[in-house]
């Protein structure tokens, strides 16, 4: 099990322009800050081949490509995690 805690970031301006795919093409500027609240991420290994994703929705899928949450899907694709995980 991996537990991650990060400060909550609030974007006042240019929120999505800090993604490399965007700023590499169009440039970008961001005005944001972290506040005294935190975001937690818990990742657990599962002993079946399913992928469980829990956020404001619940997803249970067999393939990374079937994940609806774009950031989770791409993070799993980039890291090579293919199955047997709960996030």
SS3 content of the chain, % helix, strand, coil (to 5): 30, 45, 30
**Residue 15 clears pLDDT 80, i.e. is over it:** no
Q: Which domain holds residue 24?
A: 1-39
Give yes or no: residues 34 and 67 share one domain.
no
Give yes or no: residues 32 and 2 share one domain.
yes
Give yes or no: residues 52 and 87 share one domain.
yes
Q: Which residues pair with 42 in a beta bridge?
A: 3
What kind and span of H or E run contains 54?
strand 51-54
Closest CA to 86 of 40, 47, 42, 52: 52
pLDDT, position 22: 81
pLDDT, position 37: 95
H-state helical runs in the chain: 20-26, 70-79
Give yes or no: residues 57 and 72 share one domain.
yes
Given pLDDT bands bounded at 50, 70 and 90, which one contains residue 26?
confident
Q: Is pTM, for the whole model, over 0.75?
A: no
**Residue 24 clears pLDDT 90, i.e. is over it:** no
Give yes or no: residues 52 and 35 share one domain.
no
| pLDDT, mean of residues 7-30 | 81
Q: Which two tokens mark 68? A: 């609806």
């Amino acid at each position: 099990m991996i537990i991650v805690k990060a400060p909550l970031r609030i974007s006042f301006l240019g929120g999505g322009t800090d993604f490399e795919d965007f700023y590499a093409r169009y440039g970008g500027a961001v005005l944001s800050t972290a506040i005294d609240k935190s975001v937690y991420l818990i990742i657990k290994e599962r002993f079946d081949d399913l992928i469980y994703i829990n956020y404001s929705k619940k997803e249970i899928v067999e393939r990374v490509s079937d994940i609806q949450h774009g950031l989770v899907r791409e993070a799993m694709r980039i890291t090579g995690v293919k199955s047997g995980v709960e996030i």
